Chains A and B, each alone.
Chain A
Amino acid sequence: MSNENTAGVDTDRIKKRLDSRKAKMKLSLAACAHCTLCAESCFLFNARDNDPTYMPSYKFINSIGVLYKKKGVVDRATLEDIRDVVWGRCVLCTRCYCPFGIDIPEMIAFARNICREQGVFPDYEEKGSIHAG
């Protein structure tokens, strides 16, 4: 069992959400061969000097991948880290290309949905708030 401090996070709800798309999520995570071909299709990756943390594969593995691996048992800080990835490093332009057909935008949108449900989303009223676009 995880020893995360999950106070303020409805882990059962996250698990339920993860289960609703488990098959596709599992297949997507298993299918990623880390080939990095998706990187070239990401305009943010190109605009940020090929920073590997902007690779679409990095973004979906470090968001929905984390939630899946931890079976939804995550603390708020983890959700906030995921928020910084799925909003701060992705504009959800849906242009990323995967030769294996992984729907990366769908996975990132899914991670955003889960964060939103837990009340973790960008605060645009804050100066310098995160949004990639």
Chain B
Amino acid sequence: MVKAKRKPLEEIADAISAYGKVLTVGCGGCVSVCLAGGQREVQELNAELELTLKEKGTSKTLGNYTVERQCNMDLLQEMDDMVGGYDCILSMACGAGVQLMAERYPNIPVFPAVNTVFIGVDRDIGMYEEKCRACGECVLAYTGGICPVTRCAKGLFNGPCGGTNNGKCEVSQEIPCAWLDIYERLKGQGRLDDILKLQGVMQWQNQLQRTVVQPKFEKRYYK
């Protein structure tokens, strides 16, 4: 799932400083699960903002609401009757949610309250690890299920590089060499031949905004 981390309070307070009525909107999806922007975090943020404003001797009207998913227009539209009463929206969703919110309400400034960090896994409650950079060309089949784009500091497709040192990366002795891990995994599976296959240059697709249409829906969307 998408993982996010709340922005520093000062940055959020600065973003909404010019507005009197602020609606903080949480998302019931990924950011709830990673404890960054769900209903509980919305209430916590508003409480912290209220305290900060009080310390500065000012006040604002702080509303709060949580939609089930900010990245879905059908679920977002329930806010239509609500947003008119506010000067700006503080979205606690991921970047996708913030943008859909801004698209839905183009006349109201929408500010992000979290930094969207990565696609990752839950290691424990409150602890998440990056696993995927959504490069659009998955190579996990030949790397033993270990992503070199995410794990290797250089994102090498044909590693390791000369900087690998006793199983660690030259960038830091704290970072395990992804390509050593790939080697060990493939060796354990008797698939070392895979590492010898030279992989071509990736056609990076993330320079332009991407859209995914599943094959069976192509007739519907491509006339």
Question: Which B-chain residue is minimally distant from A113 (CB atoms)?
Answer: B78
Residue among A106, A124, A131 with the highest chain B CB neighbour number at 10 A: A124
Contact flags A120-133 to B (C-beta < 8 A → 1, else 0): 01111111000101
Contact B33 A124 (CB under 8 A): yes
Q: Please choose the segment from B64-72, B140-148, B161-169, B177-185 that sits at the chain A interface, where 4 or more of its residues have CB less than 8 A away.
A: B64-72
B174 at the interface (CB under 8 A from A): no
- At the interface, yes or no: A61 with Cβ under 8 Å from chain B? no
What's the Cα separation between A75 and B162 when bound, in Å? 65
Tell me if A66 is interfacial: C-beta within 8 Å of chain B. Answer: no
Decide yes or no: A116 and B32 within 8 Å by CB, A94-B74, A105-B74, A106-B74 being known contacts.
no
User: In whole angstroms, what is the CA distance A106 to B75 when docked?
Assistant: 8
Main secondary structure of the interface of A (DSSP, over half): loop
- Chain B minimum-CB-distance residue to A87: B28
Closest to B26 in A: A116
Interface size of B by CB at 8 A reads 18
Docked-complex contact B39 and A116, CB < 8 angstroms: yes
Judged by a CB distance under 8 angstroms, whether A29 is at the interface is no
Chain B residue at minimum C-beta to C-beta distance from A105 = B74
Contact status B69-A92, CB under 8 Å: yes
Contact B32 A92 (CB under 8 A): no
Contacting A at CB under 8 A, from B99-133, are: 125-126
Residue of B at shortest CB range from A108?
A: B68
Give the residues in chain A near B34, CB-CB below 8 Å: 124
- Whether A112 and B28, one on each chain, are in contact in the complex, defined by CB atoms closer than 8 angstroms, is yes
> Which one of B28, B32, B34, B40 has the greatest number of beta carbons of chain A within 10 Å?
B28
